[in-house]
Structure 1
Amino acid sequence: MRRLTFALALIVSCVHSASAQTAFPMLMSLKPVAVQVGTTSEVTVNSRYSMHSAESVLVTEGGVLAEVVPPEVKKDDKAPNVTALKIKVSVAPDAMPGVRDLRILTAQGVSTVAQLVVVEDPVIVEQAKNDSLAEAQAIALPATVCGCIEKAEDLDFFKFKIEAPMSLVFHVRSQRLQDRIHDLQAHSDPILTIRNAQGSTIAAADNVFHGDPFLCHRFEQPGEYFLEIRDVRYTGNQYWEYAVEIHSRPFVRSVFPLAITAGKAQRLSAIGVQLPPDPTVTFTPSGDLPIGINRVRLPFAERPSNPVATYVSALPTITEATEDNNDAAALLAADQSKIENQKSQITLPCVINGRIEKPDDVDCFVFEAKKDDKLSFEVKARRLQSELDSTIRILNATGATIAENDDLRLGKRGSQDSWIESLTIPADGKYVLEIRDMHLRGGENFVYAIEVTQARPYFSLFADTDKTNLSPGVNGVMWVKVERKNGFTGAVQLHVEGLPSGVTAECGRILPDKGTDGCIIFHATAEAGRVVSPLVIRGTGVHAQADGQMTELSALATTYQEMYQPGGGRGHWPVDQHVLAVIPAHDIRGIKLSTTDIALKPGESKTIDVTIDRAPDFKANVSLDVTMTHLQLFADTLPPGVTVDGNKSKTLLSNGATQGTIALTASKDAAPVERQLIGLTANISLNFVVKTTFSADPVFVTVVKP
């Protein structure tokens, strides 16, 4: 888990004004978006909804501390609309360069996520007027240039001098910094152009790292040059920040082999630009690196490289041989010893390190399997900055395709990596694993790692959403969804780690078989005080094997931040942490229920009377629910066959109303369930998509045997 670091900077007054529909801040941008290692600088945080009473800044990973610079407010302005807030950011000299999540904690709640870039070179901030060659802003290199494509037809120009022939790297971050911005529905699509002193284009780059440009250009002639950055569509937005790192150092895009072993010395070959004559290094990754994708820095002679993604695995690794292995039929027919010498015969489980070296290249690997074996083949390439858009096939001994895959999906997000999961082998014999680029491209950076394993029952968890704001007297709720794989059908018990003092949690379960959702109810005591903490959500389950043995399973939840989609839809994007904050009394001060224990017979209905305690002068609409719904159902923890009877319920409390009802009905064929935890919530709409949600005390629903 990434560490959370923050510095408290208490504002003189943290008194919360109970105005209608009080909203947590929704961060939109940071200006500048980058900070340099070993320095302290000021950054302006821009948001929708006020950051008044901001208390602390939260930054992931470590090496970065930040604090609020108290804004100037009028003495008689108890709740100013602070949508631009200065923070002071201090970066350790040894902080890892790269992108971090940043949040602001206020009395209104913890904010959504913004993105902060840690860089190695001095940060230069765009001047107000630099929209033409004549107005180009002079910069000294190396540097990280920060600016904003803030309006339609905005062109930003910067001029620099080249004293002697040299090569420079230009690395743009803009579009990638916007994926996690909750309410930024339109994203930038930057294009980078290098011009000579006469204004002629000598180099340009568009989409390299997703929608962001990257360019390495050699300047043969000394003189003055211009950097131009704009949106390729000539559109703009006040929140479209960018950072352009410009330097002459090596830039590593990827490594070969991609899969490494923690704590073991191994030879890695860097792939990129401006590399040393011999780009190979002996690298010993830390022994405590977790299994999965990790960023590491290669030990070059002069200084460590920029961080590069690798895949850490505990499985045996096999590296593709230099001989051709692109003819599946030849490999199947070849002598066994010859195949072994070519390293094209693999033994399961393993991780295969390989590369599609040239266009039209196809790599094949032979393996033996038994009838009814269940095998999984997962490609890790594009997720580690490889250029490969993989597609894989499994061929039988006659060369017929028995399985193939192009793109995979993990939870709500997709990837251009491939994954054949839980393939049932039809007969004993030899098989071929084939991989190629979907568009038959190839080259140095078309590297891959393929994890080949026996398919085991498991599950994945996804937390919706990324933050919980609660106050003493009113609870918070988290919804968690499960995806079961490879035959696992059991229940999943939820757990939470990292609760601060004064906060407790009632952890529910996700019912077996078709059950997909569970919830956790958080409660803060009156003594909890002002606390904030990152949480780790875990689930455990037991898989019953065919022979009667029980296997214990466990998984950590991926945290999603909800996204305001164009047209009013609700999307999700993974973020680093779920953060819980205890805040002062809010618009809803309490939720009282007539009962928290409901027992239903099949065909029976029962009603829960709900009374909410509103803050003074808070008259806005409040909606009651026991599910998470926006245009579609996102979470439902009710037992199968139990539904809310809309005709018997009063869920909309308008014009200051405080009394409502939730009527639950069990269908005639509802199966028995013991004490299933549900979240009965009171929701305040902040805009068409986003709600502030508070929960009543834990409610348990039982379906009794008829």
Structure 2
Amino acid sequence: MPSFLTKACFLLIVASCCDSPCLHAAEPDLKAIFPLGCSPGESIEATLIGGGLDKVTALHFSTPGLSAEPIEKNRFRITASDEASLGTCDVWIATPEGLAGPRRFAISSTAIVVEQESNDTSDLAQAVTLPVVVDAKCDKAADLDWFAFAAEKDQEISIACRSHSLDGSVRPFFTLVGPSGRELVHSSASRLEPEATFHVPASGAYRLLVHDRGYKKDDFSYYRIELSVPAEKTNTSTAHRALITSDDVLATEQITEQIASEETPQELDLPSRIAGSFEQRNAVDWFRFAAKKGQTVHIEAFGERLGQMMDIDVAIYDDNQKEVVALKDIAAPKSVPATLPLVSLDPTIDWKVPTDGEYSIAIRDLYGGSVFGPDRVYELIVQKQRPSFYAFVMSTNAKPSRGVAIKRGAEAEASVVVVRTGGFAGEVTVRIEEPNDSVTLENGVVGPKEVTKPLRLAAASDSAVGFHPLRLVAEAEIGSDKRTISIPYAAVIRPGLTRRVEEMLIDISE
């Protein structure tokens, strides 16, 4: 017969196991929705991929015209109405354990097919009919995906591969093979999402090989191929939008870069926002501006943050063509969370002018010896230093793919991150753009020495259960002016990718 001590030990073990976190329901972790989209007027059966998704209660789409109904565990029928807008939207999922997302979902006017994973060789290429959108995935490391299609002589065919803009991790590379077996087109290695337009030389069967440039595979190895004629391009992907854009730095009309040299640089008036491109091998573009001693001039370039695989180099020269200063790459601001990656190969400087005079700016791409062309675009901003700030709101949960969930009558936290620029060091106030009776915000004052501040979000006891999109704004007194900006939500999609979402989503539950 078991002793009293044995029984006590048994009960203690059972009690400790019941309290163990391993028995608690897992937090939702949405890695992907596959297929990656659908077409207006049609439905697809989509699989939610990730962990803790056994009890998904609802899906929220950031654009109207989309709905979802459950089929079975982790599977939903997603329907797009005839009026659904083409392009991409964000999808969030709700579970009893919290909110997960967002994930991009694409609406295309072109028929969508799903890759069949028996297409690892040219002989087994999956047959598709143009125009077509193919949603695919890398099922293993070094996966090779082949597709075959018929084309007519003199057709213009557009090929585009997307992954990053659809929250995937694939860095696509494609090769087009003609009827004779000759390789006709290789995608550019200079873009995260390559595309090409091809003039068909002869009618026949063409094959397209797609693979990850690094031959890698992970939980986010999904991609989309768009095959069309240019007049029927689907344009379903969202253009790359960095956390910080040139609009955040200087929201003024762009001027176009002119063909200029060191001897005849393009003249600039401050402020200027230039749209340029490195079209020739080892191209160097030159600009000139006048400045007064003691002025502080802000110069900033955008290349990598435009979605380019680009390393821009910028230097300032005096009237004697002597280099005065070289710009440095953007470093992470102090006290900013690691999950908000603001570092970039794009250079910037707040430069104090040493003496009155004319100064020249030389800008080039350090990859320009091997990669160049009209698609190698950049932006350059030159302006007098302007005190300002920008801000992001984030989930306090450091895990990727998490949102903010609140129970009725309860509170939850989110974090606001404020980065001050141009010498600004003042207080910033955060508020809800359009106050409502469902969600209120407290603790919204970010002091002069604070960068990251927790915000308390409270749901009223009679709040409607469900999803509540929320837009926040930040305000500050800068000199005699009051500056108000929208605060985007910084969504941690996966390790290495945090992207900008224009509004945050609150899930209110019982």
Residues 1:151 and 1:117: Cα distance change in structure 2 (over 3 Å): same
Residues in 2 aligned to 1:509 and 1:251: alpha-carbon distance in whole angstroms = 50
TM-score in terms of structure 2 length: 0.80
Q: Is residue 152–residue 200 contact of structure 2 (8 Å, CA) maintained in 1?
A: no
**Deviation at residue 144 of structure 1 after TM alignment:** 0.6
Q: Is residue 142–residue 217 contact of structure 2 (8 Å, CA) maintained in 1?
A: yes
**Deviation at residue 108 of structure 1 after TM alignment:** 3.1
Out of 103, 106, 113, the residue aligned to residue 92 of structure 2 is 103
Deviations 1:522-547 (A, max 9, x none): 1223211313222222222224x5xx
How do 1:135-214 and structure 2 match up within 5 A?
135-178=124-167, 187-197=169-179, 201-205=183-187, 207-210=189-192, 212-214=193-195
**Deviation at residue 471 of structure 1 after TM alignment:** 0.8
Deviations 1:478-502 (A, max 9, x none): 1112211222112222212356533
Are 1:417 and 2:420 an aligned pair? no
Paired residues, number = 466
Deviations 1:225-282 (A, max 9, x none): 2222233454434652221000121599xxxxxxxxxxxxxxxxxxxxxxxxxxxxxx
Residues in 2 aligned to 1:562 and 1:384: alpha-carbon distance in whole angstroms = 19
What letter corresponds to residue 129 of structure 2 in structure 1? A
What letter corresponds to residue 229 of structure 2 in structure 1? S
**Deviation at residue 141 of structure 1 after TM alignment:** 0.6
Are 1:372 and 2:291 an aligned pair? no
Residues in 1 aligned to 2:433 and 2:27: alpha-carbon distance in whole angstroms = 24
Q: Is residue 169–residue 248 contact of structure 1 (8 Å, CA) maintained in 2?
A: yes
**Deviation at residue 68 of structure 1 after TM alignment:** 2.5
Residues in 1 aligned to 2:358 and 2:297: alpha-carbon distance in whole angstroms = 14
Residues in 1 aligned to 2:374 and 2:450: alpha-carbon distance in whole angstroms = 46
Out of 317, 321, 325, the residue aligned to residue 395 of structure 1 is 317
What letter corresponds to residue 467 of structure 1 in structure 2? G
Q: Is residue 367–residue 430 contact of structure 1 (8 Å, CA) maintained in 2?
A: yes
5+ unaligned residues in a row in structure 2: which ranges? 1-20, 234-243, 333-339, 396-401
**Deviation at residue 33 of structure 1 after TM alignment:** 0.9
Residues in 1 aligned to 2:429 and 2:317: alpha-carbon distance in whole angstroms = 40
Q: Is residue 38–residue 108 contact of structure 2 (8 Å, CA) maintained in 1?
A: yes
What letter corresponds to residue 195 of structure 1 in structure 2? V
What letter corresponds to residue 460 of structure 1 in structure 2? Y
Residues 1:406 and 1:437: Cα distance change in structure 2 (over 3 Å): farther
Looking at both structures, which has the greater relative contact order when contacts are Cα pairs under 8 Å and sequence separation is at least 6?
A: 2
Residues 1:359 and 1:471: Cα distance change in structure 2 (over 3 Å): same
**Deviation at residue 49 of structure 1 after TM alignment:** 0.7
Residues in 2 aligned to 1:317 and 1:504: alpha-carbon distance in whole angstroms = 39
Q: Is residue 394–residue 490 contact of structure 2 (8 Å, CA) maintained in 1?
A: yes
Residues in 2 aligned to 1:238 and 1:394: alpha-carbon distance in whole angstroms = 44
Out of 354, 367, 376, the residue aligned to residue 426 of structure 1 is 354
Larger radius of gyration: 1
Residues 1:404 and 1:87: Cα distance change in structure 2 (over 3 Å): farther
Q: Is residue 499–residue 533 contact of structure 1 (8 Å, CA) maintained in 2?
A: no
Q: Which residue of 1 aligns with 2:411?
A: 475
- Supply the RMSD in Å over aligned alpha carbons: 3.4
Q: Which residue of 2 aligns with 1:439?
A: 367
Structure 1 residue matching 2:267: 3-state secondary structure: coil
TM-score in terms of structure 1 length: 0.59
Q: Is residue 387–residue 445 contact of structure 1 (8 Å, CA) maintained in 2?
A: no
Residues 1:194 and 1:439: Cα distance change in structure 2 (over 3 Å): closer
Deviations 1:548-606 (A, max 9, x none): xx44333332322235649xxxx74433432111123xxxxxxxxxxxxxxxxxxxxxx
Q: Which residue of 1 aligns with 2:67?
A: 67
Residues in 1 aligned to 2:452 and 2:151: alpha-carbon distance in whole angstroms = 59
Q: Which moved more, 1:167-176 or 1:409-418?
A: 409-418
Out of 381, 390, 394, the residue aligned to residue 451 of structure 1 is 381
Q: Is residue 56–residue 93 contact of structure 2 (8 Å, CA) maintained in 1?
A: no
What letter corresponds to residue 131 of structure 1 in structure 2? D
Q: Which residue of 1 aligns with 2:77?
A: 87
Residues 1:165 and 1:199: Cα distance change in structure 2 (over 3 Å): same
Q: Is residue 102–residue 493 contact of structure 2 (8 Å, CA) maintained in 1?
A: no
Q: Which residue of 1 aligns with 2:283?
A: 361
Are 1:31 and 2:34 an aligned pair? yes
**Deviation at residue 406 of structure 1 after TM alignment:** 5.2
Residues in 2 aligned to 1:104 and 1:127: alpha-carbon distance in whole angstroms = 27
Q: Is residue 131–residue 229 contact of structure 2 (8 Å, CA) maintained in 1?
A: yes
Q: Which residue of 1 aligns with 2:52?
A: 49
Q: Is residue 496–residue 538 contact of structure 1 (8 Å, CA) maintained in 2?
A: yes
Residues 1:460 and 1:67: Cα distance change in structure 2 (over 3 Å): same
Q: Is residue 45–residue 75 contact of structure 2 (8 Å, CA) maintained in 1?
A: no
Q: Is residue 31–residue 220 contact of structure 2 (8 Å, CA) maintained in 1?
A: yes
Q: Which residue of 1 aligns with 2:261?
A: 326
Residues in 1 aligned to 2:121 and 2:309: alpha-carbon distance in whole angstroms = 34
Out of 463, 475, 485, the residue aligned to residue 540 of structure 1 is 475
Q: Which residue of 2 aligns with 1:519?
A: 454
Q: Is residue 71–residue 77 contact of structure 2 (8 Å, CA) maintained in 1?
A: no
Q: Is residue 254–residue 275 contact of structure 2 (8 Å, CA) maintained in 1?
A: yes
Q: Is residue 175–residue 210 contact of structure 2 (8 Å, CA) maintained in 1?
A: yes
Q: Which residue of 1 aligns with 2:121?
A: 132
Q: Which residue of 1 aligns with 2:207?
A: 226
How do 1:306-325 and structure 2 match up within 5 A?
315=252, 317-322=254-259, 325=260
Deviations 1:617-658 (A, max 9, x none): xxxxxxxxxxxxxxxxxxxxxxxxxxxxxxxxxxxxxxxxxx
Q: Is residue 375–residue 454 contact of structure 1 (8 Å, CA) maintained in 2?
A: yes
Residues 1:155 and 1:433: Cα distance change in structure 2 (over 3 Å): closer
Q: Which moved more, 1:88-97 or 1:471-480?
A: 88-97
Structure 2 residue matching 1:432: 3-state secondary structure: strand
Structure 1 residue matching 2:65: 3-state secondary structure: strand
Q: Which residue of 1 aligns with 2:390?
A: 460
What letter corresponds to residue 366 of structure 1 in structure 2? R
Residues in 2 aligned to 1:116 and 1:556: alpha-carbon distance in whole angstroms = 24
Residues in 1 aligned to 2:352 and 2:91: alpha-carbon distance in whole angstroms = 45
Q: Which residue of 2 aligns with 1:580?
A: 506
How do 1:659-670 and structure 2 match up within 5 A?
none
Residues in 2 aligned to 1:398 and 1:454: alpha-carbon distance in whole angstroms = 23
Residues in 1 aligned to 2:223 and 2:379: alpha-carbon distance in whole angstroms = 32
**Deviation at residue 32 of structure 1 after TM alignment:** 1.3
5+ unaligned residues in a row in structure 1: which ranges? 1-17, 73-81, 180-186, 253-290, 295-310, 332-341, 585-706
Q: Is residue 190–residue 309 contact of structure 2 (8 Å, CA) maintained in 1?
A: no
Structure 1 residue matching 2:166: 3-state secondary structure: helix
